[in-house]
Structure 1
Amino acid sequence: MAKAYLSIEAVGVTFQKGASRSEVLRDINLQVDQGEFVSIIGHSGCGKSTLLNVVAGLIPLTTGAVILDREAVEAPGPERAVVFQNHSLLPWLSVQENVRLAVDKVFAGKKSAAERRDWTLHNLDLVKMTAARDKRPSEISGGMKQRVGIARALAMQPKVLLLDEPFGALDALTRAHLQDSVMEIQTALKNTVLMITHDVDEAVLLSDRIVMMTNGPRAGVGQILSVDLARPRDRLAVAGNPTYVRARASVIEFLYARRAA
């Protein structure tokens, strides 16, 4: 049997401070295929972001391994681009310069200056931010900042795109628009995406599979749900689809059962 593109194998994470030990994750196993969109959902404190940070190489493993495209993940790298809830843009740089910084870092020596400029503008165009390319972060809205963060991540041409509640701080309308944009981009580019979310509807709308985490400490994978909805997806069209309704009910039932437990 062929290995998955992204393989999380028996991963455990324990934090230690002095004599105090806190086991956050225990025996996490997850296989993600190339081009798949997988969401991770669970109650606060279940280690969702810890798991994402492990895949990003930002937190060391205590046990297990993360394998991406047949190579072990042991440190941060451009093949795993992260978009956080906080946009993390440099305020003294323009929109274009924020994206160009990442492009120059990844493609120095591989693309000419003209090619890096064109590639920067191409990725800004993907997220519909070309018109604002010369503005600074203080001059654009929260939703626009997140679009720039997504463009910066895509411009690195990562093997896997890691989204840590990227829409969590946005108002409902902006959130919906950005979700639609991410769906369009993922459908067009066939990105492999791993996303953390608290939002059930967001998980069902965007995902091919939803990974439901058990409560912490010592959190694990409680259930994995496939969302068998054709792409491209229209939020209004799928809202009444029986598959969507069943998937949404399954996730809510799991989360409420865990809360009661």
Structure 2
Amino acid sequence: MERAFLEISQVVVRFGKAAAPVLNGVDLKVARGEYISVIGHSGCGKSTLLNVVAGLLPASLGGVLLEGTEVDEPGPDRAVVFQNHSLLPWLTVYENVRLAVDRTSGRAMSRAERDEWTRENLALVRMTDHLQKRPNEISGGMKQRVGIARAIAMRPKVLLLDEPFGALDALTRAHLQDQVMDIHTRLGTTVMMITHDVDEAVLLSDRIVMMTNGPNATIGEVLEVDLPRPRDRLSLASDPRFLSAREAVLRFLHERHALPKVA
């Protein structure tokens, strides 16, 4: 039997001497090129799970395998895009991405090839006209575009997105979602995304992983999203398959695992 590309096996995460773990027995297998969204209420350990996959946080029990190799530290094979863009303010747009390219591909590519690859990735997120600007000279949406370009320029095996569009206005968010879909289609990158947005999860994902409430959170259900690619948000708005998937996620979140009532 073929091994999963990314395998999360019986992951438990406990902080300090807490009575209950944040995550308890999370199992998930992800295929190469698959787009996975993880959704759930606040406090269910979504970002904790992503940090374990990124190698930023050790699991208390269980572990993660990427192409059969144990994940026990950060590495360029897993690029992370956080809600906060984390660009270096003293570098230009071009230099922020070029720095990542130099550090991950410096020995494998010539100077000219690294320049071309940097520009190519910035073109993917439509930032070609802003190469020499610094982060304080561009909008929040543009900063996130640069963060995404920097991540994919590392040629990661897995792209990890931690609510990358959460702080953006609705129109900018929609534009970036479309760009991420286009990048996923073009490059075939394996993506794991944390989100609170049900419509976003259905639009972007091949499968949606729905987490139970924490503590002791685990995977409650996994929903297959039966929508062909490429996807167009306008045509999907009234598509019965989109609406059915959306309803299934909402039902899980609001009925089966509703937040506890305040006394």
TM over 0.5: yes
**Structure-1 separation of matches of 2:137 and 2:36:** 33
Measure the CA separation in 2 of the matches of 1:71 and 1:179. 31
Question: Aligned partners of 1:176 and 1:66: how far apart in 2?
Answer: 32
Is 1:199 aligned to 2:197, yes or no? yes
- Structure 1 residue runs of 4+, over 2 Å off? 19-22
User: Residue 84 of structure 2 contacts residue 164 of structure 2 at CA under 8 Å; is this kept in 1?
Assistant: yes
Superposition RMSD on alpha carbons, in Å? 0.9
Residues 112-191 of structure 1 mapped to structure 2, 5 A cutoff: 112-191=110-189
Q: How does 1:91-102 map to 2 (within 5 A)?
A: 91-102=89-100
- Cα deviation code 1:65-90 (max 9, x no counterpart): 10011111010000000000000001
CA contact (8 A) 1:36 1:208 kept: yes
Q: Specify which of 222, 235, 238 is matched with residue 236 of structure 2.
A: 238
- For residues 86 and 96 of structure 2, the distance between their equivalents in structure 1, rounded to whole angstroms, comes to 10
The CA deviation at 1:21 is 4.8
The 1:167/1:69 distance shift into structure 2, 3 A limit, reads same
Give 1:34-45 correspondences, 5 Å limit: 34-45=32-43
- For the residue of structure 2 that corresponds to 1:249, the secondary structure is helix
Counterpart for residue 76 of structure 1: 74
Q: Percent identity?
A: 64
Q: Letter of the aligned partner of 2:11 in structure 1?
A: V
Partner in structure 1 of residue 60 of structure 2: 62
Question: In structure 2, what is the Cα distance between the partners aligned to 1:188 and 1:99?
Answer: 19
- 1:3 Cα deviation after fit: 1.1
Kindly provide the amino acid, as one letter, of the partner of residue 253 in structure 1. R
User: Number of aligned pairs?
Assistant: 259
What per-residue deviation string (whole Å, max 9, x for no partner) do you get for residues 29-80 of structure 1?
A: 0010001000000000000000000000000011111001111101000000
Residues 1:4 and 2:10 are matched in the alignment: no
TM-score w.r.t. the length of structure 2 is 0.97
List per-residue Cα deviations over 1:150-189 (Å, max 9, x = no partner). 0000000000000000000000000000000101110111
Contact 1:153–1:161, Cα closer than 8 Å, also in 2: yes
Secondary structure, aligned partner of 1:28 = strand
Deviation of 1:110 after TM superposition, in Å, equals 1.4
Q: Quote the Cα distance in structure 1 between the aligned partners of 2:20 and 2:111.
A: 48
Structure-2 separation of matches of 1:61 and 1:252: 29
- For residue 60 of structure 1, give the secondary structure of its aligned residue in structure 2: coil
Aligned partner letter, 2:164: P
User: 2:258 is matched by which residue type in structure 1?
Assistant: R
What CA distance in whole angstroms lies between the structure 1 residues aligned with 2:31 and 2:213? 26
The answer (yes or no) to whether the contact 1:15–1:21 under 8 Å persists in 2 is no
SS at match of 1:15: coil
Partner of 2:25: 27
The answer (yes or no) to whether the contact 1:46–1:217 under 8 Å persists in 2 is yes
Q: Deviations over 1:101-131 (max 9, x none)?
A: 1111101211111111111111101111111
Q: Aligned partners of 1:130, 1:73: CA distance in 2, in Å?
A: 35
In the alignment, structure 1 segments of 5+ residues that lack a partner are: none
